[in-house]
Structure 1
Amino acid sequence: MPLAMDRPHTKSRLGCKECKLRRVKCDESRPVCARCSRSRRQCSYLADIPTLPASPSSTSTSNSTSSAAFQPLPVAAPDPSPNHAGAGAAPRHLALEERYGLLHLNLLHYFEHELIESMGSVHPGLQATLPMLTAEAFKVPYLMDELLALSAAHKSTQAPETRFLYATEATRLQTRALEALNRLKPQVSAENCMPMFIFSSLVGQQALFDVSSAVHDDLGTVLEGLIHCIGLHRGIGIIANSAWPLLQARLWGQAAEACTGGGALRGSDESSHDDFDELLRRIDDSSLSAPMIVANRQATLILRPYFSSLSPSSTPSSHWMAAVQEWMIGVPSEYVECLRQRRQEALVVLAHYAVMLHYTSRYWFVGDLGARLIHLITRHLGSYWEAWLEWPNRMIAEQHVMV
């Protein structure tokens, strides 16, 4: 009986690098090929999309003026949803000009009648801003794309049979929105400050959702998603800080509350907190290099005032949500590099930050991310680091309920 011959590997000359390394045929669909989508791998096609230059140093002032130069936002999603067939068939400029279809009308209706209402329970005053949100989106295509992208992301959580469809469309719409904004390179002005501020808020929410919906038991996947999310927040922080002074004259009452989350009510930088003071001492006594000690101290010092001034049981979750995003905007790039290197001390600091994520678990785009991250870091570091991680684990064990 003749021996069965192995099926020859068909090379894909223009296929993605991941498929070439795995010696499998790539379907060459973009922005993510089908094989990478199904296996949740980082497709090299994402690198073809323009990305953000090096993030600004944490030493830069947070009070950017309206004349600050536009910084392109990173386009690639950390864990892209499966790509629908044919997304790469048309030239990019034609794809960006395509008309909205019935699916998008459905997503807009869902945003107006389902998503806003569900978020209103944890974000007081948000429903009052709906006319403003939709009015701006109808004038600014990149904002409409992001509004629909967030709606699709939320709808992907509602029914298993349609998860693929809506997750795919959420990724495609956000990619299109970011590309459009980067192509425009707008300067923040009195005319465009409103759509740019709203856009930055919606992008930040979807970025957190991309992380929270990633593979649940893989610390590496979650970390890579968070690192991307931090980079994106540093970019949108520039937009938000530039736009907010121009918005203050236009916003008041509930609208201002909804746009800012009520503010994080951050305490003094010199405020004390026993558990964070102990963490700072441990970092100082660690074997990290001097620059890494400084970076991890700074990331910890940004956290400490929130926990010394906000109550885990009585502070509205909208205030904690503001703190969650402010920390990602403010952490130094050197600390992010420590995370990339999987430095144990940096992971401990991240576990302390995850307590804030846990306090915002009622937000659909956060969910159980905080508790899951603490569990993954604790399991990864092992028994030697138990004392360092005692406080984060105690906080999630107490199961505080946010109002």
Structure 2
Amino acid sequence: MQCKQRHVKCDEGKPSCGNCAQTNRACSFLRMLPSIPTSLATNTGIPGSGTYRSSRHNSISPAIYSKSGPPTPASAVSSAASPSCITLTSKDTAAAATAEPIPPPIDIDAKLFSQYNANPTPEFNLADLSMMHNWSTETSLTLSSTPEVQQVWARTVVQFALQHRFLLHGVLAISALHVAYTRPSSTKEYRELVDYAAQHQTIAVSLFQRALASPTAGGQRDALFVLSVLISVIAIATLRDEISDAMEIDIITTRASGAAIMDCKWIRLSRGILVLNQEHLEDLARGPVGLLVRSDVVLEHGKWKDKDLADDLRHLQRLWHGDEPLTGIEGLEEISAADREVFDEAYVALISTRSKATEYMHALQPGPGPSTAQSHLRGGTTASKPSVDSRVLAEVFVWLIRIPLEYIELLERQHPIALIILAHYAALLGKECATWWSEKSAYMIIRRVWVVLDERLRKWIESPMADVRRANG
């Protein structure tokens, strides 16, 4: 050490001790700071490190805390749910960025600097900074189609994240997933980004649970609400990886072992968010994140009914009301009256959700008819990622709240009818409300249900499977 070689007492201050700072020497403690990851320096254009590339769409390879196989984000929480108004959608980020005037500067919290002076060794690194930059300039713009709401995600949420570490880790997690799912340069980078997201998700959830146990003032309720929404989004987004891995499992072996063919924890997770926030929704609606909660859209109920249901969905109730012979199909030979009632409730909720989503689509977009409105609604982004208005997707999320708990229990027991209803819901989530974080997961759900269903039942999800085939070209 420099001080030891010079025979002077060292105060061991970081990042540089006091003696070295005063004499402008290279302090030994500087060598203890995290180094710049090679892939990050190369891909994000760090001046003087690697190859500088200026395109903002270049891939980012962050450093990973650990390569020891972290838990998937969706499994990090045992329960959580979707509030009745979540404004999350897909949007053309370039068009949105040019349409809005330059916003005022973000308020700087002086406490950040006092905390830094007390402990200048950084908790976060350049990979984290790159993910925060991606959040502010890219990811936040994909979570709503409304410029005012985009500003809440890009600016207000960042301010809360700087004050509440649980939200900061959540923002970093979903930003990394956004990069992984939209522009990875290699399989290795994809895996690194997903692992990075899982690490930050785990930390976010741990801090989240601690904050719930000891609530404080200073906007913590707003930050907790935002993170609960992000947790739900991450749970759905990461289904694409979990179900893809599960597709390799031998179905016969899985059934014989009694293991679940499809994990449904993400549904309970989404429902739980409403439980956490329901009593605070009115206060949240009046606060700085109010635009994420309230809706000012006026609907003309009944004007835009969905008259174009596919035959398999329109006649689906016949499956559990005796019109369809079910002899020899496991689980369907005898359906109790109670189960029939549960399936009816889930089915009616699904049809209502489709109808309400259609009403919102037409109320929010100009045009004389469905084709004009839907064309306008989906024409604002790239060909592979259509645009969906915030309230439309929020309505689709509400189905997870409308379904009875008994339906979820039947789904967890892998009841064929429950799986068929889920496949039709996934079609709504994947086709009508496609986003970078929901589309592929939705289609993976449909494929999984198709694989596990008895061949005689597959005709009941033919229209969802047709959507999957079209998406896959």
TM-score range, shorter chain: 0.5 to 0.7
Q: Are 1:208 and 1:365, in contact at CA under 8 Å, matched by a contact in 2? A: yes
Question: Residue 232 of structure 1 is aligned with which of 263, 269, 285?
Answer: 269
Query: Does residue 132 of structure 1 match 2:156?
Result: yes
| Selected match of 2:316 from 257, 279, 283 | 279
1:216 corresponds in structure 2 to 244
Per the TM alignment, residue 398 of structure 1 is displaced from its structure 2 partner at its CA by: 7.9
| Partner SS, residue 335 of structure 2 | coil
Q: Give, in angstroms, the shift of residue 348 of structure 1.
A: 0.8
| 2:225 is the counterpart of 1:197 | yes
Q: 1:214-267 CA distances to partner (integer Å, 9 max, x unpaired)?
A: 34374598x87751211211211212323321022235xxx7555568789796
Q: Are the aligned partners of 1:378 and 1:386 in contact in 2 as well (CA < 8 Å)?
A: yes
Deviations 1:85-144 (A, max 9, x none): xxxxxxxxxxxx982222222211111122224555x45543321221111111111111
Equivalent AA in structure 2 for residue 193 of structure 1: R
1:104 aligns with 2:176: no
Cα separation, 2, equivalents of 1:207 and 1:360: 19
> What is the root-mean-square deviation of aligned Cα atoms in Å?
4.0
1:334 paired with 2:414, answer: no
The answer as to whether partners of 1:355 and 1:392 remain within 8 angstroms in 2 is yes
Give the whole-Å Cα distance in 2 for the aligned partners of 1:176 and 1:209.
18
TM-score, normalization by structure 1? 0.65
Residue equivalent to 1:17: none
1:304-343 correspondence runs (5 A): 304-311=351-358, 314=373, 317=388, 318-343=390-415
Superposed displacement of residue 207, structure 1: 0.9
Residues 8-47 of structure 1: pairs in structure 2 closer than 5 A: 34=68
Q: Percent identity?
A: 21
Q: Which residue of 2 aligns with 1:18?
A: none
Partner-residue secondary structure (3-state), 1:216: helix
3-state SS in 1 of match to 2:435: coil
Opposite residue 396 of structure 2, the aligned amino acid is V
Task: Pick the aligned partner of 1:114 from 117, 138, 142.
Answer: 138
Shift of 1:341: 1.8
Indicate whether 1:349 and 2:416 are aligned.
no
Which of 184, 190, 204 is the aligned partner of 1:177?
A: 204
Aligned-pair CA distance for 1:397: 7.0
Aligned pairs for 1:139-158 (under 5 A) are: 139-157=163-181, 158=183
Mapped contact 2:357–2:396 kept (Cα < 8 A): no
Letter paired with 1:150 = I
Aligned residues of 1:116 and 1:127 also touching (Cα < 8 A):
yes
Higher relative contact order (CA 8 A, sep 6+): 2
Q: Residue 208 and residue 382 in structure 1: after superposition, are their counterparts in 2 closer, same or farther (change >3 A)? A: same
Q: How far off its partner does 1:395 sit?
A: 5.9
Matched residues, number: 315
Give the Cα separation in 2 of the matches to 1:385 and 1:191. Answer: 50
- Distance in 2 between residues matched to 1:172 and 1:282, nearest whole Å: 43
AA aligned to 1:199 is L
Normalising by structure 2, we get a TM-score of 0.56
Task: Tell me how far apart the structure 2 counterparts of residues 335 and 369 of structure 1 sit (CA, whole Å).
Answer: 21
Kept in 2: contact 1:197–1:244 (CA 8 A)? no
1:304 Cα offset (Å):
1.2
Matched residue, 1:163: 190
Q: Which of the residues 369, 381, 399 maps onto 2:453?
A: 381
Q: 1:284 and 1:308 mapped to 2: Cα distance?
A: 23
Worse-superposed segment, 153-162 or 134-143: 153-162
Distance 2:298 2:217 in 1: 25
Match of 2:349 among 279, 290, 302: 302
Matches of 1:119 and 1:136 in 2, distance apart?
17
Q: Are the aligned partners of 2:262 and 2:412 in contact in 1 as well (CA < 8 Å)?
A: no
**Cα separation, partners in 2 of 1:147 and 1:323, compared to 1, 3 Å:** same
Change (3 A) 1:101 1:261: farther
State whether residues 267 and 400 of structure 2, in contact with CA within 8 Å, keep that contact through their aligned partners in structure 1: yes
Contact persistence 1:265–1:310 (CA under 8 A): no
For the residues of structure 1 that align with 2:351 and 2:395, how far apart are their CA atoms? Answer: 11
Whichever residue aligns with residue 211 of structure 1, its letter is L
Task: Tell me the CA shift for residue 346 of structure 1.
Answer: 0.6
Q: Which residue of structure 2 lines up, in the alignment, with residue 291 of structure 1?
A: 338
Q: Contact conserved, 1:351 with 1:373, CA < 8 A, in 2?
A: yes
Distance 1:133 1:394, change over 3 A: same
Gaps of 5+ in 2: 1-64, 86-120, 250-259, 323-331, 359-369, 378-387
